[in-house]
Structure 1
Amino acid sequence: MGENFAFLLPVVLTLFGVAFLVVGRFGNRAALLWGAGYLCAAVGFLVPLLEVVVPIPVVAMTADAAFLSAFFLYSQALVTHFAARRLMAVRLGVVAVAYASTSLAVLVGESLRFELFINDIACSTLLLIAILASWRRSHSRIDRVLFGAVGFVIAETTVRTMVFFFMAGLPAMGAFIGSTYAYVMQVTATIGALVMALTALASVALRIVERHRKASEEDPLTGLLNRRGFEQLVGEGARAPKAEAAIIVADIDWFKSVNDRYGHAAGDEAIREVAALLNTLSWPGLAVARFGGEEFIAYLPNCRLQDAHTLANTVRIALSGRDLGRIGIDSSITASFGVAVTAAGDHTIHDAISRADRLLYLAKSRGRNRVVSSAAEVPEQTGVKLFRV
């Protein structure tokens, strides 16, 4: 049974390592670190099988280096995954001191007992440092499960090595393979590796999915929602909200002239300025989106027409008075706004958006740099057109 585990564990660890490396190809650095760590651990468990052809001290020091590398990479994966303090100097110090100590235990003391104790405690310490650095950055249930799995590995490694250290006597350096300790280590390490790998894979995969979801629903230039994100948030095709909600549509005036005169880079900065102003509106549940080009929309739930008009006018005044010299624009930039609220007869929120769009068109036709919110001023039009210039 022990020999079966001796061959099985490196295979299991290698499979996990390859799985993480495949996931890492989707742009997740933590997955690459997990993968490299599991491959190093596979080497660590494989090396002792070479005792029959390689000198025991070489085998011991190679295995120690592989395990320290594996746990250092695990700890690096954790702090990278949670964007926590890396504490690189501290963790590298643990690795250096541990490897120097295990080398002395192998080459000078010829003590398997001290070698395993020092190496295992160092591995547990590396994970503990990463856990302490990352603990406050867990935001989901799977993150907490991952911490639990890592905690299990720390506890298993620590308890196992403590029991062996105080109860094993003085085994010879070459007595590891075939020993009870080796068998117990292989069994418990398989369980720990399985639990930690599955939870880490799940956590990494969810991060990748969330990143791609966010990328698909956010405008990369401004960080605002894009059309898809806005419709997902507000509810595409959903009925208009029962409580009165306001829609503000905005369009930068003469934006083509801004691009022609100052360049597209300056135009992008101007778009960011408007986005920043809209995004700082103080209203509960505010959702702001860029629908393309210089076109913006804001959704304000539980908001009256007067309040929405005031907020839009605040943005208009702030924009027209903004000094844009720092972004290479030496003249003021203005925007026009249309404001509407949901009505009892609306079937969807898009009915209110259509009215706000027509009000925006009216603001443009009346000279720009103004807010129009009176429904009485909107001529009847067929069809829905958003953000007309």
Structure 2
Amino acid sequence: MGENFAFFLPIMMASFGVLFAGVWRWRVRAAGFWSCAFFCVAGGFAVPVAFAALPSALWSLVADLLFGSGFLLFSQALLERWRPSWLIHGRIAIWALSMLLCAVGIAFDNLPLELVASDFGCFLLIGLPLIAGRNHLGHWPDRILFGAATLTALDNLMRGSTVPLTLSDGNFPDSTYAFLMQALACIFGLFLALAALAANMIDLLDRYQRDALHDPLSGLLNRRGFDDAIAGRHRKLPLDGSLIVCDIDHFKAINDEYGHALGDQVIIALAGMLTRWAPSNAVTARFGGEEFVLFLPDTNAARAAGVADDIRENFARDVADQFGLARPLTASFGLSTIQRADASIHDAIARADTALYEAKARGRNRVCVRRALSPPDASTAGPVAVNLPYRA
């Protein structure tokens, strides 16, 4: 092994191990496997240095174990993105068979057998995840990572297939095989590490963005996420549709009587109903506490009121029984439609909020519809409210 490679490769691989360990601390699960894999490979490339300090035939087996374990971890890191733990027992069996054949090669002083067993084992370990990943290449980080892993797999396949040619004199340190192994490890190892690092960092940024736009309890959009989603729609199409504002009745009493943990479960249950009963193109958000907002694009007031009433009835009928509550559990709904004069969707939300207060004032567990902000008894307001009372 060349002196430059002898020091450069372990340092390069270990550096990536440290980088991925840092990413793993940000709760990116795959980064932990990448970190351990690069540390293993770094140890494998550092074995010649250890051998020079303390010569022993056992160092060959140590190197094989480190390389094989590194590629087993590479395979798991790749599958964390595409299909976690796929063929885990089969991959462990490949690793074990490869290590066994390497040990046989060392025991019988058969260097070609050892190298072929190691290379083909590494090829299979990093190649199998590509089968699972071929249907998950919709985003460019996955495509680049897939390409880097493919090149790494082919490197091991070609090197293992050409051992008789590249190890012609049987002397590993000065062989063409050793040179190709080191040179291509620099190129493909760097490519694989950078591709994986980019993919992990993009995943991390996507997660932070998702967390910033979603309510952690219900999984729905938060207020900021709702505004962003509406702004995204408004850039493409004029806003048209209906707004529903929903609030759980006597929610503070539920928290006081049964505890906040059960109150959280009630919020999650209502969020699930909103998602299940709302149209697929609806924008659903939790604005805080027990208040939820739904925007139903291209939906008139009558149809939106039907959706709200379906949610109300199912919530009143099912949720209290689901949690074994002795008291009834209901929700009130306010509804409004987008008007041409609205400066923003928040004008419609304000009207729906007014309708919600009216539903509360009229006894709760009902849907009220309001088309203007003026009070119901104003002479110029016209027919501003429609009430859907509770139906037993």
Instruction: Give TM-score scaled by structure 2 length.
Output: 0.90
CA contact (8 A) 1:245 1:300 kept: yes
Aligned partners of 2:308, 2:22: CA distance in 1, in Å? 48
Give the corresponding residue for 2:9.
9
Residue 19 of structure 2: aligned partner: 19
* Cα displacement (A) at 1:71: 0.5
Matched, 1:359 2:350: no
1:106–1:115 Cα contact (<8 Å) kept = yes
1:256 and 2:255 aligned: no
Given candidates 184, 201, 205, the residue that maps to 1:209 is 205
SS in 2 for 1:224: coil
Q: Pick which of 264-273 and 364-373 moved more.
A: 264-273
**Alignment deviations for residues 262-287 of structure 1 (CA, whole Å, 9 cap, x no partner):** 22222222212221111112424211
Q: 1:154 to 1:120 in 2, by over 3 A?
A: same
Q: Runs of 5+ in structure 1 lacking a partner?
A: 381-389
Number of residue pairs matched by the alignment: 377
* 1:42-121 to 2 correspondences below 5 Å: 42-108=42-108, 110-121=109-120
SS of alignment partner, residue 304 of structure 2 = helix
Query: Cα distance 1:257–1:104, how it changes in 2: closer, same or farther (>3 A)?
Result: same
Q: Which amino acid aligns with 2:11?
A: V
**Equivalent position amino acid for 2:35 in 1:** G
Question: 2:82 touches 2:133 (CA, 8 Å); kept in 1?
Answer: yes
Superimposed CA distance per residue, residues 104-159 of structure 1 (whole angstroms, 9 cap, x where no aligned partner): 11112x12111111101001111122222343344422112111110100001111
Shift in Å, 1:203: 0.7
Aligned to 2:147: 148
Counterpart of 2:81 in structure 1: which amino acid? H
Residue 301 of structure 1 corresponds to 297
1:225, CA displacement in angstroms?
Answer: 1.0
Q: Distance in 1 between matches of 2:51 and 2:176?
A: 17
State percent identity of aligned pairs.
Answer: 37
Deviations 1:204-234 (A, max 9, x none): 1111111121122211221111112111211
Q: CA deviation at 1:85?
A: 3.5
1:235 to 214, 231, 234: 231
| Residue 41 of structure 2 is aligned to residue 41 of structure 1 | yes
Aligned-partner Cα distance in 1 for 2:153–2:349? 56
Secondary structure of 2:135's match?
A: helix
> SS of the residue aligned with 1:367?
coil
Partner of 2:121: 122
Change (3 A) 1:115 1:170: farther
Q: 1:51 to 1:242 in 2, by over 3 A?
A: closer
Q: Which amino acid aligns with 2:193?
A: A
Could you say what secondary structure the match of 1:234 adopts?
Answer: helix
Partner of 1:338: 334
Q: Give the distance between the partners of 2:225 and 2:242, measured in 1 at CA.
A: 18
Q: Is the CA contact (8 Å cut-off) linking 1:239 and 1:349 kept in structure 2? A: no
1:332 to partner: Cα distance: 2.5
CA distance in 2, matches of 1:158, 1:34: 21
| 1:371 aligned to which of 364, 367, 370 | 367
Taking the aligned partners of 2:133 and 2:58, their CA distance within structure 1 comes to: 35
Residue 355 (structure 1) shift: 0.9
Distance change >3 Å, CA 260–CA 240, structure 1 → 2? farther
1:182 paired to 2:178:
yes
Q: Is the 8 A contact 2:334 2:368 kept in 1?
A: yes
8 A Cα contact 1:113 1:170, kept in partner? no
8 A Cα contact 1:152 1:192, kept in partner: yes
**Does the CA-based 8 Å contact 1:284-1:301 persist in structure 2?**
no
Q: Amino acid of the residue matched to residue 139 of structure 2?
A: S
* Gap change, CA 1:86 and 1:282, over 3 Å in 2: same
Q: Is the CA contact 2:244–2:352 (under 8 Å) kept in the aligned structure 1?
A: yes
Offset of residue 334 of structure 1: 1.2
User: What letter matches 1:124 in structure 2?
Assistant: F
Q: Does the CA-based 8 Å contact 1:289-1:298 persist in structure 2?
A: yes
**Rounded Cα–Cα distance in structure 2 between residues aligned with 1:80 and 1:357:** 44
- 2:323 aligned residue (327, 350, 356): 327
**Taking structure 1 as reference, are residues 136 and 255 closer, same or farther at Cα in structure 2, changes over 3 Å only?**
same
Residues 308 and 184 from structure 1, CA distance in 2 versus in 1: closer, same or farther, beyond 3 angstroms? Answer: same
Secondary structure at 2:334 match in 1: strand
- For the residues of structure 1 that align with 2:143 and 2:152, how far apart are their CA atoms? 14
Moved more, 5-14 or 292-301: 5-14
- Asked whether the equivalents of residues 65 and 99 of structure 2 are also in contact (C-alpha less than 8 Å), the reply is yes
Matches within 5 A, 1:273-312: 273-312=269-308
Seen in structure 2, the aligned counterparts of structure 1 residues 5 and 251 have a Cα distance that, compared at 3 Å, is: same
CA distance in 1, matches of 2:29, 2:204: 11
**Range with greater deviation from structure 2 (264-273 or 153-162):** 264-273
